[in-house]
Amino acid sequence: MSVRVRVACPGCSASVTAQPGEPRGDDTLHGRSVPCEDCGHRIDLYYY
């Protein structure tokens, strides 16, 4: 069962759906981050 979370992009406030724990995006020091599909801002997912 996959967990999907919706996060608001701090750059453009767009809502982005991400799946933490899956290799979508880059590994960061804190966990994972995904790019916003609208503005490309990196959204950290380490707090999920």
- The pLDDT tens digits for 4-45 are 677 788 888 887 777 655 554 555 444 567 788 788 888 776
- pLDDT value, residue 21: 56
Using CB atoms within 10 A of its CB, is residue 34 exposed (0-12), middle (13-18) or buried (19+)? Answer: buried
Q: Model pTM?
A: 0.44
- pLDDT value, residue 33: 73
- pLDDT value, residue 29: 46
- pLDDT value, residue 36: 82
- pLDDT value, residue 48: 44
